[in-house]
Every structure is written in C-alpha cells, then in structure tokens.
Amino acid sequence: MRNLVLLLLITTTGCGTKVILRDTNVYKAELDQYHRWATAQSGYLRDFIAEHCECDGDTFADAECKDAADYVLTIEARADWHHQMSLWNAGLLPDDKEPAKNPPSIAPLTCPLPAGLTDGE
C-alpha cells in the first residue's frame, strides 16, 4: 500500500509551471518586424487591387480580390492596435499607454476600396 501511495504521489506531481524567458529586445524587434511586414503587404495588396481587381456593383467580382481587400481593411484598421496590445501584454509599455480593450472597427468591404492608411491617410 505504501508503494502505491508513493507511486501515485510521484506520477501526479509535475515539474511546476513551465516558464520560457525571452530577451526583451529580441521579442520587441520581432513584434516590430511582424508589424512592418503586415503593413507593407497591405500597401502592396492595395496597389494590386487598384490595378487588377474589378467591381461588380459595390462588391468585388473575384473572390481573391475580395479576400485581399478584406485583409487590407483589417490590417489598416487593427495592425497598430495589435502591435500595441502585444507590447502591452508583454509588459513593454508603461501603464499610462494601455491600448483600448477592444480593437478598432473595420471599414465595410466595398468596391472600390475606400481610401486608407496606405493611400497617405
């Protein structure tokens, strides 16, 4: 009986909470790079949509153009918020810089795309 209790104790005891520590500067650099990639891609897609996508009324005639336009509008509306929230969650922003609890609204998907951040807005 003693052996059974000892076996149960050993098998139910874990090694504690797993903690992974990352260098703060490396993590911030990664977040900054992901933000730059997303916003740059959004600008390239906006240019592609303007040159190659056609409207069917106020919607896109092509499903790929519709998906690209949705991506552009989402990134333009929320990339900065997600970047700031990632920094905040990692404890890399001061207390007075806490982002809003909810992300900004995304503009309605219409064809042609409304002017956006990558248009110089």
Q: What is the pLDDT of residue 24?
A: 87
Report helix, strand or coil for 12.
helix
E strand or H helix at 47: helix 24-52
Residues 21-54: tens digit of each pLDDT: 778 899 999 999 999 999 999 999 999 999 999 9
DSSP states of 23-37: -HHHHHHHHHHHHHH
Residue 5 has pLDDT above 90, yes or no: no
6 has a pLDDT exceeding 80: no
Residues 6+ apart with CB under 8 A from 71: 41, 42, 45
Is the model's pLDDT at 9 over the cut of 50? yes
- For the chain, what are the domain ranges? 17-119
**Rounded distance, CA 65 to CA 52, Å?**
8
Question: Is residue 121 over pLDDT 90?
Answer: no
- Residue 104: the pLDDT is 95
Taking only the tens place, the pLDDT of each residue in 91-114 is 998 888 999 999 999 999 999 998
Q: What is the largest CA-CA distance in the chain?
A: 78
- Give CA–CA dist 10/52, Å, rounded: 64
